Amino acid sequence: MTSTATAHPNIALAKYWGKRNDALIIPATGSLSLTLDVFPTTTSVTLSDEGADAVRLDGVLLTGDESNRVRTVLDRIRELSGRTGHARVESANTVPTAAGLASSAAAFAALATAAADAFGLDADDRMLSRIARRGSGSACRSVFPGVARWNAGIDDESSYAEPLSWNGPPLAMVVGIVSSQRKAVSSRTAMRRTVETSPYFPAWVTSSAALLDQMSDAVAAGDFATVGELTEQSALRMHASMFGAVPPVRYLSAASLALFDAVVTLRSAGIDAYATADAGPNVKVLCRSDQASHVVDALTATIPDAEYVVAHAGPGSHIVTGKGA
Ligand code: 2P0
């Protein structure tokens, strides 16, 4: 019997950057995100009689760190379910892998959801969020639809995401793809380097905690402009913390900064748009759904070389075929 699950990437509005516990992936700060309706990952898990887990991504057998991360999630599910067998995992991405478009968030949310079903683990969404977190921190947020907040917590039990309701104007995220190349430094390595060497990291942690509280209040109030302003602040402060690392980590390219500038110009023309960027040069622009096509037209006119994809709030991870379908 094969269990198949789908999950979508999420983009953090209030960023996660830095861990307080590397092994359990407990973050230094909480974060808040929007799960998208584009670039899904579909993952199938089949219990097998073989002597080891086998993991394929887009048909290619994974080895090393990537397969170890999958095994970490499977081990946790074996531990929780009391079952000992191995699994065959096949995953298909529709997003350029490792280009700062949150492919690992969708991948590990789909994996946790499919594997829990395959191993017969009766897991609610909070447990799935905690399991997905073990593979990739941001994956704990992709278990949930729309807006979700990851409560940093202090241990495995207390570190999970939960859905927040959003009653403001329907949201869109215009993804501006300036590069689909694999990033030179993984976010995991870059995060660790920032924690260990950036003099700005402590300021990032204290300011992020305050920003997350403000953003949570703005989400509860449906206050789009405040959510947007805080989104841009969080992204720039996160990148500033990386600029301070030794050696520095710089994911933003000239094309990324040109997009940030174009968004400032859009705002001065009265369009509520706010830029954010993750561990890569691509820029995501938060705006109202009913203004998304206008935002794409304006960005295309200024930066025609980028490719633009309009995303809206998407679903949480869910079983497509399997016991829980
Ligand atoms: C985020 N990012 O909040 C932040 C913003 C990238 C920049 O979470 O080491 O793949 O597996 O926990 O979740 C990307 O890092 O890192 C990330 P690990 P993850 O979305």
2-166 and 171-312 in the same fold: no
What CATH number does domain 2-166 carry, 3.40.1160.10, 3.30.230.10, 3.30.70.1400, 3.20.20.80? Answer: 3.30.230.10
pLDDT of residue 180: 76
Atom of ligand 1 nearest to the CA of 139: 13
Sign, Cα dihedral of 263, 264, 268, 270: positive
Our answer on whether the CB atom of 137 is closer than 6 Å to any ligand 1 atom is yes
Proportion of the chain in helix, strand, coil states, percent, rounded to 5: 40, 25, 35
pLDDT of residue 95: 67
Of residues 166, 132, 173, the one with CA closest to residue 150:
132
What architecture is domain 171-312?
A: 2-Layer Sandwich (3.30)
C-alpha 53/C-alpha 238 separation (Å) is 36
3-state secondary structure of 63: coil
Atom 8 of ligand 1, residue of closest alpha carbon:
138
Question: Does residue 103 contact residue 32 with C-beta atoms inside 8 Å?
Answer: no
| pTM recorded for the entire structure | 0.96
Our answer on whether the CB atom of 208 is closer than 6 Å to any ligand 1 atom is no
Atom of ligand 1 nearest to the CA of 133: 12
pLDDT of residue 103: 77
7 pairs with which residues across the strands? 41
pLDDT of residue 164: 98
pLDDT of residue 325: 66
β-pairing verdict for 86-93 and 41-48: antiparallel
Atom 14 of ligand 1, residue of closest alpha carbon:
187
Q: Which residues of the chain have pLDDT under 50?
A: 98-99
Atom of ligand 1 nearest to the CA of 16: 3
Of residues 193, 192, 233, 241, the one with CA closest to residue 210:
233
Our answer on whether the CB atom of 14 is closer than 6 Å to any ligand 1 atom is no
As a whole number of Å, the end-to-end CA separation of the chain is 13
Which sequence spans correspond to the domains of the chain?
2-166, 171-312
| Average of per-residue pLDDT values in the chain | 95
pLDDT in tens, 251-267: 999 999 999 999 999 99
Residues, the chain: 325
Our answer on whether the CB atom of 10 is closer than 6 Å to any ligand 1 atom is no
Q: What is the dihedral of CA 181, 171, 237, 144, to 10 degrees?
A: -80
β-pairing verdict for 283-288 and 171-177: antiparallel
Question: Buried b vs exposed e over 304-320: b needs ≥16 C-beta within 10 Å?
Answer: eebebbbbebbbbbbbb
